[in-house]
Amino acid sequence: MQAANQLDSNWHCIQAGHVDGPEDWIEWLADRASDSRIGIDARMLSHTKATELNNRLSPKGSKLVHPPKNLIDLIWKDKPSRLKEPVFIHPIEFTGKSTLDKLADIRTWIREAPHTTTSRSRSAPTASEHHVATLITALDSIGEWPHDLSNIVWKTHRSVAYILNLRGQDIPFNPVFHSYLMITLDRTILFVDPAKLTGDVEDYLEGLGVDTRGYYDFWSYLKEREWGEDRVGFF
């Protein structure tokens, strides 16, 4: 409904899952691509979806390419700037659990996660096949931790706001803030616009041992593999 109200004549809205429509956008694209290079911002696409799409495009002589800049952003001249509303601490009486306890639970989960070798492999997993970290990117998906961590049921990624017991005001009616959170076995890094961090929040994060870096530093962090070349088993 929003797309129908906001898109002008330069755009055509495809309703995935609609009656007589494609099941999803991958089906729609794969049915039409032939000898094409399809530009998609890699930051907006999961590895699973990219692999699925490439597998369907390859027989038609097509493939994905990832331009250095988002193509929509290049033509969106009046794009509103991101909000810089301050992040604030959510008290323990409302969160029910401290951030240190939540981080400890996550690290237990990482250590007990199955390695990345297949179940048929008889070889002992190498260091790079053990999971060493988890990357939190979803702002609003909050699920439940399993009671039995040995079962390793990860229903859905926790949000940054939940884990750090912080709240924000970046999205109306949602207590979240734009950020990424990298949790390794020995380090926690919050990528966020420093303008959103008050002195109290900075002191709070420092007390938790959480390092802070700029929001856009996240991409260079991944590109440079700052966690270590021999530690690539993300989960």
User: Are 140 and 210 within one domain?
Assistant: yes
**Helix H or strand E segment including 202:** helix 199-208
Full pLDDT tens readout for the chain, 235 residues? 888 888 888 888 888 888 877 888 888 888 888 899 998 898 888 888 889 889 999 999 999 998 888 888 888 888 888 888 899 999 988 888 899 999 999 899 888 877 665 455 566 656 566 778 888 887 754 333 333 433 333 333 457 888 899 999 888 888 889 999 999 888 999 999 999 999 999 999 999 999 999 999 998 898 887 776 555 555 5
Q: Which of 47, 75, 103 is the last residue of a domain?
A: 75
Same domain, 33 and 139: no
Sequence-distant (≥ 6) Cβ neighbours of residue 108 within 8 angstroms = 149
Same-domain check for residues 103 and 40: no
Whether residue 66 lies inside any domain: the answer is yes
Answer whether residue 232 is part of any domain.
no
Q: Which domain holds residue 200?
A: 88-115+126-224
**CATH number (domain holding residue 203):** 3.40.350.10
Looking at the structure, tell me whether residues 134 and 213 fall in a common domain: yes
Domains: count for the chain? 2
Residues 63 and 110 in one domain: no
229 part of a folded domain = no
Please provide the DSSP assignment of 42-70 as one string. Answer: GGGS-HHHHHHHHHHHGGGT-EEE--SS-
- Let me know whether 203 and 142 are in one domain: yes
Query: Taking CA 189 as the corner, what is the angle to CA 223 and CA 150, rounded to the nearest 5 degrees?
Result: 100
If asked whether residues 103 and 37 sit together in one domain, one would say no
Q: Are 66 and 109 part of one and the same domain?
A: no
45 and 134 in a single domain? The answer is: no
Q: What is the pTM of this model?
A: 0.74
Residue 83 lies in a domain: no
Are 111 and 65 in a shared domain? no
